[in-house]
Structure 1
Amino acid sequence: MADELITLSDVAAAAGVSLSTASKALNGTDRISAATREHVRVTADRLGFRHNALARSFARGRSQTIGVLTYRASNPFTRVVLATAATELGAREQAILLYDARLGEHDITESVLQLRARRIDGVIVIGTGTSFPAPSITDRFDVPVTYAFTFTEDPDDVTITSDDDQIGRLAMTHLLSTGRRRIAHLTAEPNDAAAVKRAAGAGAVLADAGLDWVTPVRFGRWRENWGEEAVREVLADAPDVDAIFCGSDAIARGAERGLRMAGRDVPGDVALIGVDNWEQLMHDQRVSRHLTTIDVGLEEIGRRVAAQLLDPDPKPGIQYVAPHVVIADTA
């Protein structure tokens, strides 16, 4: 029978129950006993029966399809969240329908209209980071909407995202634990929410230790060339700096290049820590782990956002995922 198409009628006959009872047992109705439900399920598994997903969706009045709206699906951060959420949804027999809307209002509106026409059961919106808010589209749907790796202007939106304040605190705690005391910070624009929160978290831990930045925080861009440029400013202003917290791994790579060009040993003279765990994100087997960094928890965000979407009583507001330190060569 293994090579044949197993039908619900086959399961009912093998289990010795009616077709109606077999259907109720496999569709989770509470109108039959637990013992009968388990007997039918075991029989179905033994025969290799698989539900007809389309027929079951009509029977339940649901499509078992989740709409996923991304702003840039090719973004490495988005890919991790998307893959993990898709795996979690697949384990719960949910399919996904992906729309890459980018940031334009026209694209978002068109994607919303298409998703609404597809009889979806819910929507996941995946951002590319926590630098700036994403538009809230919750009120455009009559199904649950959750947001991942972003935040919106509506504080009641169900959102799972990274904890930038804790990222900064964790980075500074690690540097202090290694004995560093003359610490600088290089990060992105001063109007960037992620940059500001990471700097604030790190600064709070530094202050609790009775210390201050060895030189004012350098705000710039999430770019390697900015890291290299900024580290020259730091060395000119505070030549005895012994550690640098960089707001991203890209900045840290540039900073390391600038330090080595200046004749400084990393981490002997100056320790470096970044954010993003970029080397793991790239999955490049040619590159060994080198940069000490903070992993922001992208996989956990993907798992939790899928779980929240399917939760019958989702928790409104922002839920933060805990980051963790990835120790390597630079700190």
Structure 2
Amino acid sequence: MSTAKSVTLGDVASVAGVSLSTASRALNGGGRISEDTRRRVKEASDRLGFQPNALARSFALGRSQTIGVLTQNASGVFTAPVLIGATMELGRMNQALLIRDARFDAATLNENVARLQARRIDGVVLIGDGLNYSLPSVTSLFRVPVAYAFGLTSESDDASFNPDAEMAGRLAATHLLETRRRRIAHITAGLDDPASRGRAHGFGRALAEAGLEQVGGKPLSGGWTFEWGVEATTRLLASGTEVDAIFCGNDQIALGAESAIRAAGLSVPRDVALIGVDNWEGMITSDSARLTTIDPCLQDVGAAAARSLGADEAWSPGAHLVPCRLIVRSTT
């Protein structure tokens, strides 16, 4: 039985009407080649179904096309979407991955760093487990670019990518104002938490710009839990303070607040509108499909960090904020 002949780079060059070296540079993204030539070679490659040899490509580019991915807690509810976003983006960039998880153990992380140092890699993505956990800086340990996702290090020049917490607060306030709510409270975790503090700051500024002050003049601060949402909302309603909306620091708090509102004989959203932050299905029950929320777009965070290591991306140090997104449902 005969087998079909594999399409070669020479076949692509012949169809595109260019030299072998030009075809190579056009497909590998190198050299000074006109966009018209690059497009012609790409069209020929796609038409013929050409699949470049990964090893040959890495030699041609002088790179291994392999990225090391270090995680602090790969199975974490919030880490998982960041990791998915990073791996999907690296796959789109035709990069191979070496993934190693530390499970919050410093010794394991050091061992994983040493293992990557022994490999020929083109870059490193270190994924944390949220802004409340400080990431160790490993930038100086590698000769290749290092990007940090979903976490911060103590080094201001480290390139880090995180959800825009202030934007989350601003989006929540703006949406509630647009629904004609004017007596708006904010229930969140402790303001020593960077995410909680950022959301509270964006929320407060948006209200101030509209000439309003949040109910009570400041957030009700406690924890990230359903139980805190119940406790804080029960206390707020029992005080007799007029309130027609509550911005909750996360979806768990919002679900607790909803429970307390209904227990008080009030209706959501007719009497009190609710909005949370997260939109992560693994954290909440199926009933949460009713909840208006701010999606921190964690897959986008991972993708942005991965993309910063690409040859076509202008790598820049410092903190980078990734936009979040409002999802409107029935609680507003």
Q: TM-score, normalised by structure 2?
A: 0.86
CA displacement 1:126-174 (0-9 Å, x = unmatched): 2222234322221111110112222222221112211111211221121
Structure 1 match to 2:254 = 252
Distance (whole Å) between structure 2 residues aligned to residue 99 and residue 219 of structure 1: 36
Cα contact 1:11–1:22 (8 A) shared by 2? yes
The answer to whether the Cα contact below 8 Å between 1:2 and 1:48 also exists between their aligned partners in 2 is no
SS in 2 for 1:289: helix
Q: What residue is the counterpart of 2:229 in the other structure?
A: 227
Report sequence identity in percent.
52
Question: What is the SS of the residue equivalent to 1:62?
Answer: coil
* Deviation readout 1:236-257 (Å, 9 max, x if unpaired): 2244221111000111111111
The amino acid across from 1:148 in the alignment is A
Change in 2 beyond 3 A, CA 1:6/1:314 = same
Q: CA deviation at 1:32?
A: 8.6
Paired letter, 1:321: V
Letter in 2 for 1:75: G
The one-letter code sitting in structure 2 at the alignment partner of 1:304 is A
Q: What is residue 280 of structure 2 aligned with on the other side?
A: 278
CA spacing shift, 1:20–1:246, aligned 2, 3 Å: closer
Question: How far did 1:187 drift?
Answer: 0.9
Say whether the 8 Å CA contact 1:130–1:162 is kept in structure 2: no
Secondary structure of the equivalent of 1:160? strand
The secondary structure found in structure 2 opposite 1:204 is helix
CA–CA separation in structure 1 for the residues paired with 2:157 and 2:194: 19
Give TM-score scaled by structure 1 length. Answer: 0.86
What corresponds to 2:329 in structure 1? 328
Deviations 1:172-191 (Å, cap 9, x if unpaired)? 12112222222221111232
Matches within 5 A, 1:34-183: 44-183=45-184
For structure 1, the residue ranges without an aligned partner over 5 or more in a row are none
Deviation at 1:329, TM superposition (A): 0.8
Amino acid at match of 2:302: G
Give me the CA root mean square deviation: 3.0
Please tell me whether the aligned partners of residues 132 and 193 of structure 1 are also in contact (alpha carbons under 8 angstroms): no
The equivalent of 1:191 in structure 2 is 192
The unaligned stretches of length 5 or more in structure 2 are none
The 1:225/1:54 distance shift into structure 2, 3 A limit, reads same
Q: Is the contact between residue 26 and residue 41 of structure 2 (CA under 8 Å) also seen in structure 1?
A: yes
SS at match of 2:290: coil
What's the offset of the Cα at 1:304?
2.2
What are the superposed Cα offsets for residues 82-125 of structure 1, whole Å, 9 maximum, x if unpaired? 22222222222111221122322112111111112221110112
Q: Mapping of 1:261-272 within 5 angstroms?
A: 261-272=263-274
State the alpha-carbon separation in 2 of the partners of residues 34 and 225 from structure 1.
59
